[in-house]
Amino acid sequence: MKRAIILVLDSLGLGASADANKYDNVGADTLGHIAEHCAAEKCNNEHRQGPLNIPNLQRWGLAAAATDSRGKTLPVLQNIEAEGAYGYAREVSVGKDTPSGHWEICGLPVPLEWGSFPDQENCFPQSLLQQLISQGQIDGTLANKHASGTQVLEEFGEQHMNTGFPICYTSADSVFQIAAHEETFGLQRLYDLCEVAKRLVDPLNITRVIARPFIGTNSANFERSANRRDLTTPPTGPTLLDHIQAAGASVVSVGKIGDIFSQQGVSYTVKAKDNMGLVDELLRQMDKVKEGLLFVNLVDFDTKYGHRRDVLGYALALADFDKRLPEIEAKLNSNDLVLVTADHGCDPTWQGSDHTREHVPVVFYGTNIKNNNLGERSSFADMGQTIAQYLDVEPLAYGEACHLG
């Protein structure tokens, strides 16, 4: 079997989709607004100056895809012609969350709306929190609100260390998040508490419970550790991952992919603390695994920069990742296919801290892939169907394969 690599640049949207009005996201444009801020010299500091500089991603086809998606040229440092096949995709699934985006990429759209906790304050039912306290053997909880991960640590981190009460918060997504100090509360205790929480929120159709361990001694130096764990509702049907495994090949999760699919269709997982560490792990797996699928989620784009509305940080992270692409290229075999995409948007210039409903990149690259405009794809599932066809595994139930030329 050949080998495919999926690189999910988590939250790198390419402009608001046609149905963005349903999500109050008309005008959102993650990559476009980052590039515009850079071009306007709003992202200058000692580490970067001027327009966004991502020459390797441009060469693969990202800028061309963004230009077509947003209907105007992406203002980057230099004009570089695309070598890969490029386009953009709109989402069929309802929502703008991580599981729906990843599942749809792999051929399983989610047509029904997940449950959520819409109230900004006191968002969790008291009955749910009381059950969590009783069954989780804790004395109380903190927060009970919509917030970003850094915000709750600044606001409640020290109180958590003084009381031992875990920090429970959410967002517009279908998620229940619990933050606790890795040492004073205990990592395994946090994982066990999240198992309890997942059982309790399942009847509410909440798709994920996320353990958010953190370290540090006070609000000035609290930071989330690399030991995040996502407890996700399993996919409701077979995905690209299952089809590849059924054909006898490996599916390697690099980062949180295994958690997103509840380990269904995953051979094994490797993790790292940040984007650069995940690229390092990918390079190691490329030396080890020569057929099947290497599936990577680069989560920092979303958690560290999108949700925190950090335009400068996002721009720096894109440039850092771009510099690593030649290392990936150097390890590509003649029969490798690489996909660069995203699971949703998270425009760092947008109000609030939630995801944004946007198109995502569809960029295929490989030594045998020719420059080809794939246009607008009607579902993220077209990407998974393309990979299924390329690897010669059973076709997916959804999606139309792209013609790579």
List alpha helices for 310-368, DSSP H. Answer: 311-330
Instruction: Kindly report each contact of residues 268-274 with a partner whose C-beta sits within 8 Å and lies 24 or more positions away, as own/partner.
Output: 271/226, 272/226, 273/225, 273/226, 274/226, 274/300
Phi/psi for 367 (5° steps) reads: -65, -25
Structure tokens at 224: 């989330």
Residues 368 and 261 in one domain: yes
Torsion-angle region of residue 120: left (phi > 0), alpha (psi -120 to 50) or beta? alpha
Residues 387 and 241 in one domain: yes
Residues 96 and 242 in one domain: yes
Residues 57 and 139 in one domain: no
The residue behind tokens 């969350």 is: 97
Number of domains in the chain: 2
pLDDT over threshold 80, residue 168: yes
Kindly state whether residue 356 falls inside one of the protein's structural domains.
yes
Q: Decide: 257 and 239 in contact? Cβ < 8 Å.
A: no
Residues 368 and 254 in one domain: yes
The residue behind tokens 């929502």 is: 95
Q: For residues 311 and 356, give the distance between their C-alpha atoms in angstroms, rounded to a whole number.
A: 15
pLDDT digits (tens, 9 = 90+) for 226-277: 899 999 999 999 999 999 999 999 999 999 999 999 999 999 999 999 999 9
pLDDT score recorded for residue 149: 87
Kindly state whether residue 289 falls inside one of the protein's structural domains.
yes
Structural domain ending residue among the three candidates 199, 232, 265: 232
| Full domain range(s) for residue 367 | 3-110+236-391
pLDDT score recorded for residue 161: 97
pLDDT score recorded for residue 282: 98
Kindly state whether residue 118 falls inside one of the protein's structural domains.
no
Residues 359 and 240 in one domain: yes
Q: For residues 22 and 156, give the distance between their C-alpha atoms in angstroms, rounded to a whole number.
A: 33
pLDDT score recorded for residue 112: 85
Structure tokens at 162: 């003084």
Residues 17 and 144 in one domain: no
Contacts of 137 (CB under 8 A, 6+ apart): none
Structural domain ending residue among the three candidates 171, 200, 232: 232
Q: For residues 343 and 359, give the distance between their C-alpha atoms in angstroms, rounded to a whole number.
A: 9
pLDDT digits (tens, 9 = 90+) for 193-229: 999 999 999 999 999 999 999 999 999 999 999 899 9
Compute the average pLDDT of residues 36-53.
97
Task: Report how many helices (DSSP H) and strands (DSSP E) the chain contains, helices first.
Answer: 13, 14
Share of the chain above pLDDT 90, in %: 97
pLDDT digits (tens, 9 = 90+) for 305-323: 999 999 999 999 999 999 9
The residue behind tokens 């010669």 is: 392
pLDDT score recorded for residue 310: 97
How sure is the predictor about 32, in pLDDT bands with cuts at 50, 70 and 90?
A: very high
Q: Decide: 107 and 389 in contact? Cβ < 8 Å.
A: no
Residues 298 and 163 in one domain: no
pLDDT score recorded for residue 329: 98
Residues 103 and 134 in one domain: no
Q: What does each C-alpha distance from 158 to 140, 143, 179, 187, 330 come to in angstroms?
A: 15, 12, 12, 17, 47
Structural domain ending residue among the three candidates 204, 232, 260: 232
Kindly state whether residue 403 falls inside one of the protein's structural domains.
no
pLDDT score recorded for residue 399: 98
Kindly state whether residue 336 falls inside one of the protein's structural domains.
yes
Q: Is the pTM of this model over 0.85?
A: yes
Residues 225 and 314 in one domain: no
pLDDT over threshold 80, residue 405: no
Residues 190 and 154 in one domain: yes
Q: For residues 53 and 55, give the distance between their C-alpha atoms in angstroms, rounded to a whole number.
A: 6
Compute the average pLDDT of residues 8-16.
98
How sure is the predictor about 181, in pLDDT bands with cuts at 50, 70 and 90?
A: very high
Residues 32 and 94 in one domain: yes
pLDDT score recorded for residue 165: 98
Kindly state whether residue 119 falls inside one of the protein's structural domains.
no
Here the CATH number for the domain that contains residue 183 is: 3.30.70.1250
Kindly state whether residue 60 falls inside one of the protein's structural domains.
yes
Kindly state whether residue 50 falls inside one of the protein's structural domains.
yes
Here the CATH number for the domain that contains residue 251 is: 3.40.720.10
Q: Decide: 152 and 144 in contact? Cβ < 8 Å.
A: no
pLDDT digits (tens, 9 = 90+) for 366-394: 999 999 999 999 999 999 999 999 999 99
